[in-house]
Amino acid sequence: MTAIAPGVAEPALAAPAPRTDGVWRTMVRSKSGLAGLVLVVLITGMSYLAPLFVDDHNPVDAQNRWQGPSGEHWLGTDHSGKDVLKQVVLGGQTIIYVGFLAAVITLGVAVVLGSLAAYYRGRLDSALLQLTDIVMTVPAVVLLAVVGAFFGLTTPTTLALLLGLITWPVLMRSIRAQVLSLKEREFVEAARLQDLGNMRIIFVEIVPNMAGYILINFIIAVTNAMYALVGLYVLGLAPLAGANWGIMIHQAWTYGAIYLPEGRAFILAPVCAIALFQLGLVMLTRSLEEIFNPRLSKG
């Protein structure tokens, strides 16, 4: 064994590297993970690339209200005679954008506050835990309604910001628990001995070791944000200008499409699009759990 000269700091123990090697091979080998990835990529690509190939001109045609599927309108028409298929193909951008942006905000707030609370403990930890209790006790629907009435939820970015700022407490507590466990590991003690600084220890040494956990919770946050946004549209709390899947469901419910055989495609099409996207995310999450958790991959 090589002796260490007096006065020379012992080299820091390397932090256990996240299990990211072979991620793509594992994803391809997993049928559910590959199917989920394909679903997410296809629906996202359709939503963002369709405007380049599909004419967004969808005029009101009162003579063709509630028409069933036909050669001209594959999914029929809605209450104003607009083509349903065009609305579905072009209506995913807002929902997906808000879902991902809200998840980024949720994750960013939760990781920063949860890591700081767990590492420093004391008064900061108590204050942040008290803050999470306050945010969690306020009914989300009521808060959204009040904020919407006073400030107006006029843009998708505003919707994402609001959703992100009210959905972080639960994830923050989970991140805090993870950091409480990791901060006692040998590589963190070695980093402290080297006097690397608290911020570097937290965000360079500890947080990267939660990469798998953070990624999985990010996908879950996207799912929750999308459901919350669609709920806002159905309840009429979000602006109903434009066209997206949430507005389609709201209009289908308002105009009684569910009771009309010719109008059922108008409500089922956006519901199926959202369900398929969520299914893809869930399947992707299960495969990521196997990738980052060796015990699951061996089972």
In a domain, 36, yes or no: yes
Residue pair 84/269 in contact (Cβ under 8 Å)? The answer is yes
Dump the DSSP string for 218-246: HHHHHHHHHHHHHHHHHHT-S---S--HH
Whether residue 86 is found in the same domain as residue 127 = no
Whether residue 196 is found in the same domain as residue 174 = yes
In a domain, 180, yes or no: yes
Confidence of residue 97 (pLDDT cuts 50, 70, 90): very high
Residues in the chain: 299
Residue 17 has pLDDT above 60, yes or no: no
Kindly report whether the global pTM for this prediction surpasses the value 0.75: yes
Whether residue 103 is found in the same domain as residue 214 = yes
Confidence of residue 123 (pLDDT cuts 50, 70, 90): very high
Whether residue 117 is found in the same domain as residue 214 = yes
Q: How far is Cα 107 from Cα 125, in angstroms, rounded to an integer?
A: 18
Confidence of residue 23 (pLDDT cuts 50, 70, 90): low
Using a pLDDT cut of 90, give the percent of the chain over it.
Answer: 44
In a domain, 186, yes or no: yes
Using a pLDDT cut of 70, give the percent of the chain over it.
Answer: 87
In a domain, 65, yes or no: no
Residue 265 has pLDDT above 70, yes or no: yes
Number of domains observed in the structure of the chain: 2
Whether residue 209 is found in the same domain as residue 107 = yes
Q: Which of 218, 253, 271 is the C-terminal boundary of a domain?
A: 218
In a domain, 40, yes or no: yes
Q: What is the DSSP letter of 62?
A: G
Task: List, for residues 70-91, the tens digit of each pLDDT value.
Answer: 888 899 999 888 999 999 999 9
Compute the average pLDDT of residues 213-222. Answer: 92
Confidence of residue 197 (pLDDT cuts 50, 70, 90): confident
For the purposes of burial, counting CB atoms within 10 Å of the CB of 189, is it exposed (0-12), middle (13-18) or buried (19 or more)? middle
In a domain, 233, yes or no: no
Whether residue 152 is found in the same domain as residue 133 = yes
In a domain, 228, yes or no: no
Whether residue 214 is found in the same domain as residue 264 = no
Whether residue 110 is found in the same domain as residue 147 = yes
Task: Please list the residues that pair with 83 across neighbouring strands.
Answer: 77
Q: Which of 179, 201, 218 is the C-terminal boundary of a domain?
A: 218
Whether residue 250 is found in the same domain as residue 209 = no
In a domain, 197, yes or no: yes
Task: List, for residues 142-194, the tens digit of each pLDDT value.
Answer: 777 777 667 667 789 988 998 998 889 999 999 999 999 999 899 888 988 88
The reported pLDDT for the residue numbered 40 is: 94
Q: How far is Cα 286 from Cα 124, in angstroms, rounded to an integer?
A: 35
Range(s) of the domain holding residue 195? 98-218
The reported pLDDT for the residue numbered 3 is: 45
Whether residue 35 is found in the same domain as residue 104 = no
Q: Which of 174, 200, 218 is the C-terminal boundary of a domain?
A: 218
The reported pLDDT for the residue numbered 293 is: 65
Task: List, for residues 38-51, the tens digit of each pLDDT value.
Answer: 999 999 999 999 88
